[in-house]
Amino acid sequence: MQRKCDIAVIGGGAAGLMAAIQAAERGCDVVLLEKNSFCGKKINITGKGRCNITNTRPWDEFAPHVHPVAAFLRNAFYHFSNESIIALLNRIGLETVVERGERVYPKSMRARDVSQALTGYAEQVGVHIEFNCDVLHVRPQENGLRCTCAFPDSNLRTELLDARAVIVATGGLSYPSTGATGRGYEIARDFGHSLVDTFPSLTALMPERFDPDLIGIELKNVALQLYVDRDSVQYEEGELAFTEGGIEGALGFRVSRKAVAALRKKQRVELALDLKPGLSREQLENRITRELEALHCTRASLGPLKMKALLRTLMPERLITPFLAAHPNLNGQNLPDALKAWRWRIINHTGYERAVVTAGGVPQSELIAKTMRSRQNDRLYFAGEVIDLDGDTGGYNLQIAFSTGALAGASAAAQVLKEKPSA
């Protein structure tokens, strides 16, 4: 491994690849240190293997999907936007398509094509990639920083790399199988950074007495209302899926950030599932009356058999048994309530092993938003999920990684090039 470089980038995910590309494009000598044997292991599993690369919404509509404070991302987004990543990928030969919800995918629908395109382009612009290289720590040096790298498949050989600037793009804690170990947080702490408590976000929520018959059922055009300590805090419409983890799918994920944060504070978390959000209470009453007439039945005379026949007109067949089990006293009068607000007490959530993203991390206030540079050390930069910055599902998280990575790479390059004696 080379001993010196202008810029060392730790982590070859979306953020690290983009940081390395931007720094190398500006003429810097860049070494990308990746502990896996290839880059973009997490990119390869995104979007169920299809990779929802970004979202085409303009900043004003993009920002509400970014947490905890979107303003921190603004400079990075304008430096390298959703349009920029699409243009870059198209330029290097990867065609993209826009689908429902302004979500952008590779035309091939293969996530692997995205990671391979970016890795190939990084190498093409001169980034030197060290694979199987686990960065143990980073220490200040005169005029730079020193990375200590271990090569686990080579008798635990360690080597040192001196860089004038280091970009930490090690990701968060979610899906550890992709290489996420939280080392970036340790590096941040070593430089005196504090950390915003991390927690899994975009994850499944487990209800009390969860009925296994629900597993595998997917619902479209439904709504979820989230209650924390009985206060309504979030309302979302869309698609929902029941899995071994409980309630997930786009809707479950969207409410999970606030739900998990509340569970961690030991607050009472409840969900109300509206199976008919397109109908007002009155419209639903009328619809039930019409269906009952067709069944030659009235609310008063609604017995178990006719109830099942009625439910068949209102929900997917597989949902009927769990719905009836959850509402043992169901009758013609309380049916609209049950359909509009199927209540669930949430008692747990899936952890990092299957959470899409890690919330929390290196505090926004300890980084300079215009450069992604650390306020603790002027040669240290952070990018991607390691920062206290996360998004909803829909391509927001990869865009956060691309934007912050690109800005960190460009800023580190500007700093290093300014210091270099001109030829």
**Of 44, 56, 397, 403, which one interacts with ligand FAD (CB under 6 A)?**
397
**Of 7, 8, 9, 11, which one interacts with ligand FAD (CB under 6 A)?**
11
* Shorter beta-carbon distance to ligand FAD: residue 30 or 51: 51
**Of 89, 135, 226, 346, which one interacts with ligand FAD (CB under 6 A)?**
135
Task: Kindly state the DSSP code that residue 77 receives in the 8-state scheme.
Answer: H
Q: How many residues bind ligand FAD (CB under 6 A)?
A: 41
**Rounded-to-integer distance, Cα 1 and Cα 413, Å:** 21
- Asked if 181 and 28 touch (Cβ cutoff 8 Å), the reply is no
Contacts of 231 (CB under 8 A, 6+ apart): none
Report if residue 7 touches ligand FAD, rule: CB under 6 A.
Answer: no
Tokens of 150: 């271990």
Report if residue 15 touches ligand FAD, rule: CB under 6 A.
Answer: yes
Q: Per-residue DSSP letters for 344-404? A: EEEEEE--TTT-SEEEEEB-GGGEETTTTEESS-TTEEE-GGGBS-EE-TTTHHHHHHHHH
* Shorter beta-carbon distance to ligand FAD: residue 15 or 319: 15
Report if residue 171 touches ligand FAD, rule: CB under 6 A.
Answer: yes
- C-alpha angle with apex 402: 400 to 404, nearest 5 degrees? 65
**Rounded-to-integer distance, Cα 180 and Cα 173, Å:** 5
SS3 label, residue 127: coil
Tokens of 294: 């067709």
**Of 24, 51, 241, 284, which one interacts with ligand FAD (CB under 6 A)?**
51
Q: Name the minimum Å distance from CB 126 to ligand FAD.
A: 20
SS3 label, residue 168: strand
Pairing status of strand 269-274 against strand 144-151: unpaired
Report if residue 409 touches ligand FAD, rule: CB under 6 A.
Answer: no
Candidates 32-40, 281-289, 294-302, 339-347; binding stretch for ligand FAD (CB under 6 A)? 32-40
**Rounded-to-integer distance, Cα 276 and Cα 323, Å:** 14
Q: Name the minimum Å distance from CB 252 to ligand FAD.
A: 14
- Per-residue binding letters, 173-212, with ligand FAD (x by CB under 6 A): -xx--xxxx-x-----------------------------
* Shorter beta-carbon distance to ligand FAD: residue 27 or 101: 101
**Of 5, 16, 121, 199, which one interacts with ligand FAD (CB under 6 A)?**
16
Which helix H or strand E contains 269, and what residues bound it?
strand 269-274
Candidates 14-22, 156-164, 283-291, 411-419; binding stretch for ligand FAD (CB under 6 A)? 14-22
Tokens of 13: 């995910």
* Shorter beta-carbon distance to ligand FAD: residue 35 or 373: 35
Question: In the complex, which residues of this chain contact ligand FAD (CB under 6 A)?
Answer: 10-16, 33-36, 41-43, 45-47, 51-52, 133-135, 169-171, 174-175, 178-181, 183, 356-357, 384-385, 395-398, 401
